[in-house]
Amino acid sequence: DTGVSQDPRHKITKRGQNVTFRCDPISEHNRLYWYRQTLGQGPEFLTYFQNEAQLEKSRLLSDRFSAERPKGSFSTLEIQRTEQGDSAMYLCASSSVGDTQYFGPGTRLTVL
């Protein structure tokens, strides 16, 4: 069990560019979650997959955000036409049959 991994750990981009983040959950965890965290706040839910099915999306998730989990294993989160307000830590978590979610190290996005 190597834990949840995320790539890249840091991303700096210019406003208007597209970015994609990857999350590899703990093996055999069928649920995968994306959260966003800004300085001084707790993580905010973005979206949730059970296996390959995207079951819930937050109202915070604008049309510029899209997430996939094509084979029920790793997941990608894409942000199109980035804005300065998208600067945040993007966290991925996974869980199995219980409700306890285990988090990865996060991807720090800076939009210039």
| Per rule CB under 8 A, count of chain residues that contact another protein | 28
Nearest to 103 by CA among 10, 26, 13: 26
Q: Cα separation of 43 and 53, whole Å?
A: 22
**What residues contact residue 41 under an 8 Å CB cut-off, 6+ apart?**
none
Q: Tell me if 25 contacts another protein by CB under 8 A.
A: no
Q: How far is the CB of 16 from another protein (least distance, A)?
A: 26
Q: Tell me if 7 contacts another protein by CB under 8 A.
A: no
Site of interaction with another protein (CB under 8 A): 4, 6, 31, 33, 35, 40-45, 48, 55-56, 58, 91, 93, 95, 98-106, 108
